[in-house]
Amino acid sequence: MSKYLVFTLFVLTFYAKAGAQGCVAIRTVGGLNTMQHAGMMHDGMLHEGMTEMKDSSLWDLNVSGRYFKSYKHFNGTDEQKQRVAEATDVRNFSRTLDISLLRKINEQWSIGMDLPLLYNERSSLYEHVANTKGNPRYSTSSQGIGDIRLTAYKWIIAPKEGSKGNLLGGVGIKLPTGNYKATDQFHYSTAATREGPVDQSIQLGDGGWGMTLELNGFRSINNTWSLYGNAYYLINPMGNNGVSTTRGVVVSSPPTASQALAIKYTSNVMSIPDQYLLRAGTNWTSNALTISLGGRYECIPANDLIGDNTGFRRPGSVLAIEPGANYSYKKLNFYLYTPIALRNERPQSYPDVLKTNDTKIFARGDAAFADFSISIGVGYKF
């Protein structure tokens, strides 16, 4: 089996916020799996009749850019089309550059680092003067490095001559290097502003240390067709980071009625949520070109695996179809992927549940999602 076919498994597996982004703060998980996992593929799947496929490269460098715009609001799975019609929708724009470097240690192990560089912009009415049709629209933004990820990878089922499949595992840490207290100016009138933390969805980091778990599997069918599957989970054990959600409004003493309710339901500060990603699909390969088509599901759950669920979060999930293309030339690999959302959902959050239990009236906030995202990049082995 061609090395290009094996390579496709890892093309753009975890390229950040694709599809599920918007008001749901699914953060970049980096581009490590856009590469061949640092030479761990160097003795990988072979064409029938081949007896050797060696590669002395020890490093893999991958640089990818990503863009999306979210503006369609959902409550549960119901789209709130009136928000766009009335121009009261919230619009998030995300531009990300992921720089990933992977180093082969031996035939079983490799280590990698991912550095995301982010520029986010958020345009709305409700965060400023008022969420009323006809009011002026203002923007807030953030830019800088995101949360860096360090990962160790090991073959569980190593690729070898005559083998039709392999399985790779990864364990890593997510460092709180991104600024989770980024601020900007909020207009409380057309002539006056106040400074406050920007919305959780455009913060550069979440403020917590995390642990990442990965599984990446590949199965060849023949020299042209193959299957792939990927799973990723970020465990964030901290509950919340203490950053205010009031957008610069000072909590009075004693607090107002609305402020007291926010404190009671813990939505006055930002949470540090888990997130996960699942992918599966098929590849078609001809020489240096690979075309992929699969399904993608990514999620910010309402409840974390470890720790409490306090704080404000917009839980949400996106089921997407994920077409893509990859072209290899010598030690370079070029790719383009465009996940297209099929189903968006904004479920109840922990504060929503507290409010529902307290008032006996069902409560659930909304969130804005992107129709699709675009990611383009290049990898280089040396």
- How many angstroms separate the CA atoms of 112 and 170, rounded? 10
- How many angstroms separate the CA atoms of 31 and 77, rounded? 29
> What pLDDT score does 30 carry?
46
Confidence of residue 305 (pLDDT cuts 50, 70, 90): very high
The 3 state secondary structure assigned to 1-28 is CCHHHHHHCCCCCCCCCCCCCECCCCCC
Its pTM stands at 0.87
- How many angstroms separate the CA atoms of 69 and 273, rounded? 22
SS3 at position 57? coil
> What pLDDT score does 160 carry?
81
> What pLDDT score does 14 carry?
35
> What pLDDT score does 162 carry?
73
Confidence of residue 212 (pLDDT cuts 50, 70, 90): very high
Alpha-helical (H) ranges within 187-307 are: 257-264
222 C-beta neighbours (distance < 10 Å), count: 10
Q: What percent of the chain has pLDDT over 90?
A: 82
> What pLDDT score does 1 carry?
40
**pLDDT (tens digit per residue) in 223-253:** 999 999 999 999 999 999 999 999 999 999 9
Given its phi and psi angles, is residue 248 left (phi above 0), alpha (psi -120 to 50 degrees) or beta?
Answer: left
- CA dihedral (32, 214, 13, 106) positive or negative: positive
Task: Give me the CATH topology for the region 3-381.
Answer: Lipocalin (2.40.128)
**pLDDT (tens digit per residue) in 253-291:** 999 999 999 999 999 999 999 999 999 999 999 999 999
The 3 state secondary structure assigned to 195-230 is EEECCHHHCCCCCCCEEEEEEEEEEECCCCEEEEEE
**pLDDT (tens digit per residue) in 79-111:** 999 999 999 999 999 999 999 999 999 989 999
